[in-house]
Amino acid sequence: MKQICLILLALTLLLSCDKKEAVPVKNEKKSEFVMYEMSEMAALMEQMYVENAKLRNRIIAGDTLGGYPDFYLKIKTSKMTDIQDNDQFFKDHSQKFLEAQELIYRDKDQAKERFNASVDACIKCHEVKCGGPITRIKKLYIP
Ligand code: HEC
């Protein structure tokens, strides 16, 4: 458990948006507290990242794509670290992102192009809202 917390802490510090302040850890018990510092939205984003990495592997391997993951819709309601980020720009871009994701699952033959277009949609929002994870998101592109 302790190790998991430390890994999560390291992830949170490394990967979160630049503007988010790091929470100093004074003792081991506090590291559990840090786990809860990740907002609902940040946790959703991490899940989306994992799901997209899996989908990427399936596309590269030519496997079946599976179904569109409904949990992405939580992007509309999840609480963010900074409530002010939930503005019109965010709403417009989350809608575009959901549409781009949905398209991928419709046609296996175009999955690669549409997957990359969906990664573009992640990055378009991140350029404005959350610069920190962009380098990591770019690794999702299928060459
Ligand atoms: C409509 C805007 C938007 C889209 C689209 C979007 N993100 Fe995010 N992302 C955000 C915001 C805002 C945060 C900060 C959330 C917070 O701290 O509460 C974030 C945070 C993250 C984080 C950091 C989470 C953490 O550990 O703190 C990752 C990683 C991430 N997004 C990956 C992705 C990936 C991958 C995609 C596409 C599959 C994506 N995002 C699409 C706005 C977006």
- Asked whether 72 lines ligand 1 (CB < 6 A), one says no
Among 17, 19, 45, 101, name the best residue to mutate to test ligand 1's pocket (greatest count of ligand atoms within 8 A of Cβ).
45
pLDDT tens profile 116-138:
999 999 999 999 999 999 999 99
Ligand 1 center from residue 142 Cα (angstroms): 19
Give residue-wise pLDDT tens across range 3-37. Answer: 554 454 455 545 577 754 445 455 555 555 555 57
Q: Which atom of ligand 1 is nearest to the CA of 91?
A: 1
CB 113 within 8 A of CB 104: no
pLDDT in tens, 93-107: 999 999 999 999 999
Residue 108 near residue 115, CB atoms below 8 Å:
no
Mean pLDDT, rounded, of the chain: 86
133 close to ligand 1 (CB < 6 Angstrom): yes
Amino acid at 85: D
Long-range contacts of 113-121 (CB under 8 A, 24+ apart): 115/52, 115/55, 115/56, 115/59, 115/140, 115/142, 116/141, 116/142, 118/52, 119/52, 121/93, 121/96, 121/97
pLDDT tens readout for residues 48-79: 999 999 999 999 999 999 999 999 999 999 99
Question: Does ligand 1 lie within 6 Å of residue 100's CB atom?
Answer: no
